[in-house]
Structure 1
Amino acid sequence: MTSPISLNIGGGYKILRWLPPGPYTRFIGTLVPGNATKELVRSLATAGMHIARINFSHVLTDQDRAKVVNLVQTIKEVEAERCIPIGIMLDTQGPEFRIRRYEGNVELKEGGNLVIVPGEGATSAEKVYIRIPHGYTKLYDELTSQSSLAPVHILIEDGKIELEILSINPEHGIVCKVIRGGLLIGNKGLNFAKCALNVPAVTVADLSSVDFAFEMGGFSRGFQYLAQSFTTGIGAINFMRDYMLAKGTEDQLLYQGAKIEELFGVRNMEEIVSGSYFVMVAQGDLDAAVGADGLAAVRRRIMSLGRIYGTPVIIATGVFEGTINGFRPSRSDSVNFADALYGGASAIMFSGEITSSADPVSVMRSAVAHAKSTEEDPFRLQDFARYREAAQQLHLERIREFHRSGKSPQAVPHLSTEELIFAALGSAERMGSVALVPCTINGNSIRFAHKGFSTIPVVGITASERAFYRMLLYGGAYPVLVDRIPQDASEFFELVKGVVTTLKFAEAGQRVDVTVAYPDPTKFDVNMSTFINL
């Protein structure tokens, strides 16, 4: 048990919640409602889980939703016990195709035939029924068109089972040959490999999930993050944001992120990355969309855009796949993991590694150990220096463009904050500071520090719960929620000293750099950067 910390300064300020010193990388663990016990949640959080993900592809009934309510309550209780944040992410179903739930087990044999039928019915080794996006009626037509160009393959459960379409008949279904067999599990995902199908960008099930999140109380009482599956472009992002705005106030909106995992999303990746609070590279579905030979290139392009726009990138699906059937990551898992961190990924998301592993807590501990080893590599720090230089050049070019057009850069919200943070980062690292401490209202200072690829901890102090959870998305940021921000300058600096020493980010004799930035300098400009010798 950990309690809020009272600081013995001025007006008696309190640290309500905080992320203690630890790895740069964030870790997201998938939890199954009804299966995830309080002890498991507590153990995963202690081992290093920062955000819990709930996959709404498996939330289909009122009974499922009741289990979600119980799990969210459990997570909140564990968070309150420890005062260390556990964010909660709602991962939407999206316009996906899935095997219908069924009783028993069906083994598909290589070389056999299988008929796939949209709709409901009894699954067997000869016929399988699938769930398709609500309102989508062109499956047979679009598959017929695609099959006329090249053979179409179907991948089930991220390619564990592979089929090839032989014929398509709306009266009988989709006849397939089993290329790679295996145990067919109900409710597993199904992909039509490399096919761009014109399915709805947002489904009725997605909107129902958002309704459910707001019925639970929105941001403050339930979920903080919304991962929008199969995002096709900025239109889908804006549609979902407008829908959330119609349900509640700005303060209750979930931080909206996009999952890039199909061909339209790949084509529109820049507008998606620039318009999202975070992006998730869903490697399983993305593999089916672009092919295994194209996955690495697409992943690197998304991470590059994340660096440009300061958007946190989450690498998901099968990162530690070896732990699902074994007890340790394979060599290729370790390389996959490290490559994501060298590329600047903010977070790693685990799905089957947690839900299907015999020892999910060991998976999380292994991830933390891998992260620490990679993050200490001097070559990674050199990569970060290059990333920052590129970000600064883009920032300077934006300022020059405003001058060339006769406009004042100061009139642009957040541009002054970006300038302040980039300058403070450079000064802090040159002068040997052990931390940069932005005081932030909405988390934008942390976004710019992330964009600048800080090599020292960024300790974000805020009195806003929204800003606190936003900061949790950013690698290298350590959010601290206090009960209020002092208005008096001397008390403010005492608060900073109390936070960094109490939470062991710094000690006597060391220097920390501090920034304060108001979000809109056209209304009230109080941008400030200074340093404190402790």
Structure 2
Amino acid sequence: MPGNRRAKIVATVGPASRSPAMLRRLLSAGVDTFRLNFSHGSHDDHRQAFEAIRALEAEFGQPIGILQDLQGPKIRLGQLPGGPREVQVGETLTLTLGPGEIPLPHPEIFAAVRPGHQLLIDDGRIRLEAVAHDAETITARVVAGGRLLDRKGVNLPDTVVDLPALTEKDRADLQFGLSLGVDWVALSFVQRPEDLVEAKALIQDRAGLVAKIEKPSALDSLQQIVFEADAVMIARGDLGVEIPPEDVPGRQKEIIRLCRQLDRPVIVATQMLESMITTPTPTRAEASDVATAIYDGADAVMLSAETASGQFPAEAVAMMDRIIHRTEAHPFYAASLEATAPQADTANRAIAAAAVDLAGAIEAPAIVAFSSTGASGRRIASHRAPRPTVLLTADPAVARRMALVWGIRSLVEDEVTDHDTVPIMAEEAVLRLGIGDDRHSIVVVCGFPFGVPGTTNSIRVTPLAAARKEPA
């Protein structure tokens, strides 16, 4: 994280960024985690990108996160028998399960839709209202017209559709991603907490599970979904279609605050620097949008088409990096984070809060946390410490997952085995990262007995100079 940037950058890999040379440029520009979007590209494409990223990780000696984003049960129209057509406001259309005027090959929709429900086509550009339905047809009135095209996406903000959380394609993609060794798996179109169950059973702790919030029904069960997930993505593309656009900013703040309360990393995604797909600079509104996510306390902000297919992928990452730096340096930033600080309502969270407060009181250059699972790092990150947090773990997979977590700089170290090793390893890590010098003391958080998850129970202040002394 150049310049001790705290918020992380996620960049999507695609045709514009898949080459090893461009991936290197993106990493140098500031990417912390790369996203492989399984809605596009072949398994071979994703394998090549994965291998190139891991080669860069070995070269730079820096843990890099890789996030697999599953396509999910995306609802789309079928092929229009007469080709593209213009539909007018007030016109009546018939959507059919089989061949017909407008094919919609999703029987679950015909079972769930009701008169008065909205059907939004092509990201809401065309809006329909259901008038009547049976098992194989939906009669709908056009509320907003336009050019209707084959295979366009359909959003149903008023309808809870009984679709499987994982399609057959998703299951095959998931097994492939896990065989590669992805660090995170993002589940699309989550509607209810139960949607996470099958994915968690298949993953079996081999990766972290990210719940994508993009359905109104997910907002109704938000706390349970966040609790079940390992991380959350605010996917504002579909969410912004299915709820009024004016509601999106407030919902974004609610989700980020809840994720901080539950120690879950949260990503803000979609259209953050959209104009940089075709231009080398963003709009002022886009710069403000990225900054707002940082002020809100997001762990990470994400680039989609900007890096996957845009003309200026490296420039988009560099711009996002600069916006984050400027925002985090602003006098209002610390106050905005303090206003949404989580409660220290458990012993583990109280220790994390105490470590942050102690580091501030003694002006420690860093907090060092020893963790076998990364949980200590996530709890400290939730309190948004103004000092860097260095997480030491013996598990490379944990170190890579931390590349998504606010303010964490992770290093892979041998497992701690005794008390005397703790200050020495902490000092070596801090000095290796160029944080602090002999005039400083650091705050160290760890647990006893060593290597047992959930036993973080110790805070100590270690002078850097004293830590060099040989143990007695």
TM-score by length of 1: 0.77
1:77-106 Cα shifts (integer Å, max 9, x gaps): 22222222321111112222135699xx96
Change (3 A) 1:264 1:171: closer
Determine the structure 1 residue equivalent to 2:154.
Answer: 190
Determine the structure 1 residue equivalent to 2:11.
Answer: 29
Determine the structure 2 residue equivalent to 1:408.
Answer: none
Determine the structure 1 residue equivalent to 2:194.
Answer: 235
Change (3 A) 1:76 1:523: closer
Determine the structure 1 residue equivalent to 2:468.
Answer: none
**Are 1:316 and 1:350, in contact at CA under 8 Å, matched by a contact in 2?**
yes
1:138 maps to 2:91: no
Greater mean alpha carbon deviation, residues 503-512 or residues 429-438 = 503-512
Residues in 1 aligned to 2:56 and 2:405: alpha-carbon distance in whole angstroms: 22
Structure 2 counterpart of 1:69, from 47, 67, 72: 47
**Are 2:119 and 2:129, in contact at CA under 8 Å, matched by a contact in 1?**
yes
Residues in 2 aligned to 1:325 and 1:178: alpha-carbon distance in whole angstroms: 32
Determine the structure 2 residue equivalent to 1:507.
Answer: 437
Structure 2 counterpart of 1:223, from 182, 189, 205: 182
What are the within-5 Å matches in structure 2 for residues 400-419 of structure 1?
415=347, 417-419=348-350
What are the within-5 Å matches in structure 2 for residues 305-320 of structure 1?
305-320=258-273
**Are 1:155 and 1:288, in contact at CA under 8 Å, matched by a contact in 2?**
no
1:220-277 Cα shifts (integer Å, max 9, x gaps): x4211011111122222222212333xxxx4xx2111101111221100001112211
Residues in 2 aligned to 1:523 and 1:84: alpha-carbon distance in whole angstroms: 26
Measured after TM superposition, the shift of residue 299 of structure 1 is 1.6
Determine the structure 2 residue equivalent to 1:370.
Answer: 323
**Are 1:109 and 1:178, in contact at CA under 8 Å, matched by a contact in 2?**
no
Measured after TM superposition, the shift of residue 504 of structure 1 is 1.0
1:352-392 Cα shifts (integer Å, max 9, x gaps): 2222321011010000000001111121101223333x423
Where structure 1 has 5 or more consecutive residues not aligned to the other structure, the ranges are 1-18, 122-126, 399-414
Change (3 A) 1:194 1:295: farther
What are the within-5 Å matches in structure 2 for residues 277-426 of structure 1?
277-388=230-341, 390-392=342-344, 395=345, 398=346, 415=347, 417-426=348-357
Change (3 A) 1:305 1:224: same
Residues in 1 aligned to 2:63 and 2:451: alpha-carbon distance in whole angstroms: 28
Measured after TM superposition, the shift of residue 26 of structure 1 is 0.8
- Letter paired with 2:388: P
Determine the structure 2 residue equivalent to 1:203.
Answer: 167
**Are 1:29 and 1:49, in contact at CA under 8 Å, matched by a contact in 2?**
yes
Q: Report the identity percentage.
A: 23
Where 2:211 maps in the other structure, the secondary structure is strand
1:275-308 Cα shifts (integer Å, max 9, x gaps): 2110011101111222212222222211121121
Determine the structure 2 residue equivalent to 1:48.
Answer: 30
Where 1:366 maps in the other structure, the secondary structure is helix
Residues in 2 aligned to 1:73 and 1:346: alpha-carbon distance in whole angstroms: 26
Change (3 A) 1:459 1:88: same
Determine the structure 2 residue equivalent to 1:12.
Answer: none
**Are 1:114 and 1:178, in contact at CA under 8 Å, matched by a contact in 2?**
no
Measured after TM superposition, the shift of residue 22 of structure 1 is 3.2
**Are 2:372 and 2:453, in contact at CA under 8 Å, matched by a contact in 1?**
no
Where 1:527 maps in the other structure, the secondary structure is strand
Greater mean alpha carbon deviation, residues 29-38 or residues 362-371 = 29-38
Structure 2 counterpart of 1:154, from 109, 113, 120: 120
Residues in 1 aligned to 2:216 and 2:65: alpha-carbon distance in whole angstroms: 30
Residues in 2 aligned to 1:100 and 1:476: alpha-carbon distance in whole angstroms: 45
Where 2:389 maps in the other structure, the secondary structure is coil
What is the aligned length? 460
**Are 2:372 and 2:451, in contact at CA under 8 Å, matched by a contact in 1?**
no
Change (3 A) 1:178 1:354: farther
Residues in 1 aligned to 2:152 and 2:435: alpha-carbon distance in whole angstroms: 44
What are the within-5 Å matches in structure 2 for residues 236-251 of structure 1?
236-245=195-204, 250=205
RMSD of equivalent CA atoms: 3.2
Change (3 A) 1:202 1:532: same
Determine the structure 2 residue equivalent to 1:403.
Answer: none
Determine the structure 1 residue equivalent to 2:213.
Answer: 260
- Letter paired with 1:192: L
Residues in 2 aligned to 1:83 and 1:101: alpha-carbon distance in whole angstroms: 49
Measured after TM superposition, the shift of residue 332 of structure 1 is 1.8
**Are 1:391 and 1:451, in contact at CA under 8 Å, matched by a contact in 2?**
no
Residues in 2 aligned to 1:387 and 1:260: alpha-carbon distance in whole angstroms: 20
**Are 1:193 and 1:291, in contact at CA under 8 Å, matched by a contact in 2?**
no
1:96 maps to 2:74: yes
**Are 1:255 and 1:470, in contact at CA under 8 Å, matched by a contact in 2?**
yes
**Are 1:196 and 1:262, in contact at CA under 8 Å, matched by a contact in 2?**
no
Change (3 A) 1:181 1:37: farther
Measured after TM superposition, the shift of residue 164 of structure 1 is 2.9
Determine the structure 2 residue equivalent to 1:411.
Answer: none
Residues in 2 aligned to 1:442 and 1:108: alpha-carbon distance in whole angstroms: 55
Determine the structure 1 residue equivalent to 2:470.
Answer: none
